[in-house]
Structure 1
Amino acid sequence: MKKVIVMTTAILTLSTVIAGCSPSATKENTAKNASESTKDKASSSKLDPYKLTIVYATGAVPKDLKAVQEKMNAYLTDKINATVELKPIEWGTWIEKTNLMIATNEQMDVMMTAGGLGYSQNVAKGAFLPLDELVAKYGADVTKALQPQFLDGTRIGGKIYGLPTNKEFASVDGILFNKALVDKYKFDISKVNKLEDLEPMLQTIKDNEPGIVPFFGQEGRQMSNFAVSSSSFDNLGDYLGGLDRSSKELKVVDIFESKVFMDYAKLARKWYQAKYMNLDAATVKDFGAMQAGKAFAMYSELKPGKDAEMSSAWGVKVVQKEMVNTPITLNTTGIMTAIPRTSKDPNRAMMFLNMLYGDKTLLNLFDFGVEGTHYVKKDEATIDFPAGVDAASVGYKNEPWMWGNQMLTYLFPNEDPKKWEKFKTFNETADKSPALGFAWNSETLTQEVAASNSVLKQYQQAIMSGSVDPEVYVPKMVAALKSAGIDKIIAEKQKQLNEWSATAKK
């Protein structure tokens, strides 16, 4: 899902400039007491009580959310004299709801964000606090977990506004397959090296499996995502101008004018007309048919053990096939947490975030729920669902790839015990983007960015799902983007990238 997060490009930006909140007495008291009590950890007895509001995206709000929140509160009260109010928002309404929350200055202490979910735009609007001083004071576990290049990759204007999750920072484009159908038809997925290799398999499913979608697409995650993925382009955070991965130049180009985009859009149209894809691929917002075992294959950005991870999450066994041999490093802003400017106690918010990078008990409680109720431990590293419970019926689950130091989280029995070691190798051996560590500042072009994202919202999903003729609609989208100001955005990105490159080489 990660990638949801991942591949969401139809971003609505804010129309209202966020008004900053002045430092409160609570902030000052917390900073004073925390600094007096300890160098690394706050002494809860010397901190005033505080409730942290945590805002993040979810597939569906779990029914046992309150029970997990109560357990977290008991633990956090002892550690940093804080409680939490968990505010999960379903992915389908995330953009609209969080934009409204920010625009109306609703109090939030921790908020999920990402390069593809308006990170740079929200920084430009003043929605997020700079974190450098907070990390220096209360982020010892953050800096221990994250390599400097990954933390630096979130900087805008020289400042850190988001903390990246310590997970894989690379990906390989590929396909997730329903294992039962692969086995039933004895498909050799090892021979799938380009999308056209899938077509005989998709035809077989279409001909023999009524009720099964041969290739499942959802909003932001479709077959033609290969056109805008890391194997084709470094999207530089928001897809409004990127680097062509086939070139060694640091030259920002319009992704949507490229031959690569048009070619994949044409293939998507072919599959749509052949009825290989679900007709609602442009609008469906969840894993739907794939998660229900009613689809054969879908696009995914892959990593070591992604198939095992999704099998546990969905309760349907899937297997993966990489379509690009070399993993590509993504922008490190793929998924992050920020402290909104409306927080009344940023110090405590950072203490909480720091615990997610170093406190295994809290992290796994937040990710998997209450031991004995939502999971049982098999050993110190492995958990499973309790008897009579599965991925579909469990009362609580979160997304471990979204939070803190994922390499401290438990594994399920079907996952590789060496998964975290492989993640580290995966990151270290990946083909690095020449712009790794660059994050662009859209502050001077907020109107152009907002207008361009509105154009993408209007056209992109329909084109990428194959729902419309790309030879008609891609030129329309390109023209609309130019009217919205994408050429100005590309020029400014190029300017900032050149300046960053000159500094980075010193």
Structure 2
Amino acid sequence: MKKKLAVLLALVLSLGTILAACSSNKDTSAADKGGKKGEPYEIKWYTIGTPQKDTDKVFAEVNKYTKKKINATVKMTQIDWGDWAQKSQVMINSGEPFDIIFTNGTDYVQNSQKGAFLAIDDLLNKEGKDVKQAINPALLEGIKVNGKIYGVPTNKEAARQTVYTFNKRLVEKYNFDISKVQSLEDLEPMLKVIKENETKITPMATFKAYLPFDYIFNNEMPFAIPFEGDRDKVINPFESDLAMKTYKTMHNYYKAGYLKEDAATSKDSWPMDVENWFVRMGDSQPYADLVWSRAAKYDVVSVPAENPVTINDSVSGSIQSISATSKNPEKAMEFLNLLNTDPYLRNLVDKGIEGVHYEKSDDGTIKDLPARIDRYNVPTYSLGNFFILDLYDNDPKDKWEKFEEFNTSAKPAPTLGFHFDSDPVRSELAAITNISKEFYPALATGSVNPEEYLPKFNKKLKEAGIDKVLKEIQKQYDDWKSKQK
């Protein structure tokens, strides 16, 4: 009996030693994650944009501040525009450990649905309670996927408005009246003048002509609902008369030499800081021309191509999501909370170091120094809350009020808040995606004759199962709509 008790006692003592070791390891692990008693946790953050020469210099200052505030440092890695889609998805699919990643649109929805991002509802109520108060509730509501929030949206314009943007110097030189531009066809007289007189200027920066529909995925995929007319039916927009008309116009422009010959395949993103274009198309916001002119170092001016509309892509146009592979999601949320509510940190990450990249006036407004443009020019929209950024010296004092008015004036799209579950038609969507990548760039840049290629495009979509996908989207859309009433 004594021997049995001795053995039992030894087992208990051994078990206690093991548990103590486990507890010690757990405590060490917690300390490694960062906390009041631990070493600073390094937050790995991936975001979009051309890598900048002074990023390490700026983040040395960032880390001095975040160490004091949340006992964490931040390693921001920028991935260039043309590489972003592929490289970011490879990182996600490989299960690479990191903490925060920029995301938007369909990528945000699909990665949330497959578990690549964490649902942060609980984190927002704890570590993120300040940012939850700061962000427009419509943005948080609009990015819910199956009722949960999977990222912190940038508090900025919630609406989308496509515009034509012109090189202002050339507009004034030739006395063009751009206020009369209301359609793609209205550009033709100006493009002709530029082609004949400006040998170093490409009349149209390479852009893919936009068809105004409410897209389920994006405007390259053949699933959408009309903004006007029957807002209850999902259609293939490439079968519309508008598609044929638009692509015919682009093809005429292409044949006239208004676009580059390699427009369909070019990876040239037409940065504004190179003055080699006359007109381009893109999404706008209040006083966007001031921002673009500042970045380009020459003046641009825009006119609307459509009225403001709030769509899923506009509310989900810029999001920071926490990876499911994060070793410390609480610390990641603490950083996002600070980034979106602390004016000093937000301006430091966005504008760089005061006295090096910008200077501040007595009235609190700022002005870029050469190093800001040349060495630390990061995309503001991709980083965080706009409304705590310092105004530039030439910014209107009512800039943020205009953002609020812009959001309020926008008409909500039919599918706002609807997110399609693609699992039932995943194989069909994979085939359709490949077909769209084959045909869409050539058609939308005018590089091919739409009378020949658009029917081929639609025929291949039929063969790949587009009707099955349209039926499934319609089913889910009808079900979603029935629950909105």
Q: TM-score, normalised by structure 2?
A: 0.88
Offset of 1:26 from its aligned partner?
8.4
Offset of 1:441 from its aligned partner?
2.6
Measure, in 2, the Cα distance between the counterparts of 1:285 and 1:414.
33
**Residue correspondence of structure 1 range 37-48 to structure 2 within 5 A:** 45-46=36-37, 48=39
Offset of 1:206 from its aligned partner?
0.7
Partner of 1:91: 81
Is the CA contact (8 Å cut-off) linking 2:352 and 2:372 kept in structure 1?
A: no
Q: Cα 1:446–1:167, aligned 2, differ >3 Å: closer, same or farther? A: same
Offset of 1:444 from its aligned partner?
3.6
**Residue correspondence of structure 1 range 46-445 to structure 2 within 5 A:** 46=37, 48-58=39-49, 60-116=50-106, 118-217=107-206, 221-222=207-208, 224-225=209-210, 227=211, 232-239=212-219, 240=221, 241-288=223-270, 290-324=272-306, 326-331=307-312, 332-379=315-362, 381-386=364-369, 389=370, 392-393=373-374, 395-445=375-425
Offset of 1:129 from its aligned partner?
1.3
Letter in 1 for 2:242: V
Is the deviation greater in 237-246 or in 423-432?
A: 237-246
Measure, in 2, the Cα distance between the counterparts of 1:408 and 1:435.
30
* Structure number, greater radius of gyration: 2
Is the CA contact (8 Å cut-off) linking 2:151 and 2:320 kept in structure 1?
A: yes
Is the deviation greater in 68-77 or in 453-462?
A: 453-462
Matched, 1:449 2:429: yes
Q: Cα 1:379–1:264, aligned 2, differ >3 Å: closer, same or farther? A: farther
Matched, 1:486 2:466: yes
Is the CA contact (8 Å cut-off) linking 2:162 and 2:305 kept in structure 1?
A: yes
Measure, in 1, the Cα distance between the counterparts of 2:448 and 2:274.
27
Letter in 1 for 2:36: S
Is the CA contact (8 Å cut-off) linking 2:351 and 2:372 kept in structure 1?
A: no
Is the CA contact (8 Å cut-off) linking 2:272 and 2:295 kept in structure 1?
A: no
Partner of 1:10: none
Q: TM-score, normalised by structure 1?
A: 0.85
Q: Cα 1:380–1:62, aligned 2, differ >3 Å: closer, same or farther? A: farther
Measure, in 1, the Cα distance between the counterparts of 2:197 and 2:271.
17
Measure, in 2, the Cα distance between the counterparts of 1:294 and 1:269.
21
Measure, in 1, the Cα distance between the counterparts of 2:186 and 2:414.
31
Offset of 1:213 from its aligned partner?
0.8
Q: Identity over aligned residues, as a percent?
A: 39
Letter in 2 for 1:235: Y
Q: Cα 1:296–1:499, aligned 2, differ >3 Å: closer, same or farther? A: same
Measure, in 2, the Cα distance between the counterparts of 1:238 and 1:178.
28
Letter in 1 for 2:293: S
Q: Cα 1:25–1:288, aligned 2, differ >3 Å: closer, same or farther? A: farther
Measure, in 1, the Cα distance between the counterparts of 2:271 and 2:42.
39
Partner of 2:19: none
Measure, in 1, the Cα distance between the counterparts of 2:477 and 2:146.
12
Offset of 1:25 from its aligned partner?
5.4
Q: Cα 1:472–1:366, aligned 2, differ >3 Å: closer, same or farther? A: same
Q: Cα 1:401–1:238, aligned 2, differ >3 Å: closer, same or farther? A: same
Is the CA contact (8 Å cut-off) linking 1:62 and 1:396 kept in structure 2?
A: yes
Measure, in 2, the Cα distance between the counterparts of 1:379 and 1:250.
55
Measure, in 2, the Cα distance between the counterparts of 1:384 and 1:322.
28
Measure, in 2, the Cα distance between the counterparts of 1:348 and 1:280.
46
Offset of 1:466 from its aligned partner?
0.8
Measure, in 2, the Cα distance between the counterparts of 1:76 and 1:420.
27
Letter in 1 for 2:175: K
For structure 1, the 5+ residue unaligned runs are 1-23, 35-43
Offset of 1:296 from its aligned partner?
0.9
Letter in 2 for 1:208: N
Letter in 2 for 1:368: K
Measure, in 2, the Cα distance between the counterparts of 1:380 and 1:499.
54
Q: Cα 1:380–1:435, aligned 2, differ >3 Å: closer, same or farther? A: farther
Letter in 1 for 2:239: E
Is the CA contact (8 Å cut-off) linking 1:213 and 1:289 kept in structure 2?
A: no
Letter in 2 for 1:482: K
Measure, in 2, the Cα distance between the counterparts of 1:47 and 1:148.
35
Q: State the Cα deviation string for residues 429-481 of structure 1 (Å, max 9, x = none).
A: 11121322222232443333333222222221111111111222222222333
Is the CA contact (8 Å cut-off) linking 1:124 and 1:443 kept in structure 2?
A: no
Q: State the Cα deviation string for residues 8-59 of structure 1 (Å, max 9, x = none).
A: xxxxxxxxxxxxxxxx95899489x99xxxxxxxxx525652111111110x
Is the CA contact (8 Å cut-off) linking 1:27 and 1:347 kept in structure 2?
A: no
Offset of 1:381 from its aligned partner?
4.7
Which SS does the other structure have where 1:291 is aligned?
coil
Is the deviation greater in 344-353 or in 484-493?
A: 484-493
Measure, in 2, the Cα distance between the counterparts of 1:279 and 1:156.
41
Alignment length (residue pairs): 457
Measure, in 2, the Cα distance between the counterparts of 1:391 and 1:48.
32
Runs of 4+ deviating beyond 6 Å: none
Which SS does the other structure have where 2:126 is aligned?
helix
RMSD of aligned Cα (Å): 2.4
Is the deviation greater in 86-95 or in 413-422?
A: 413-422
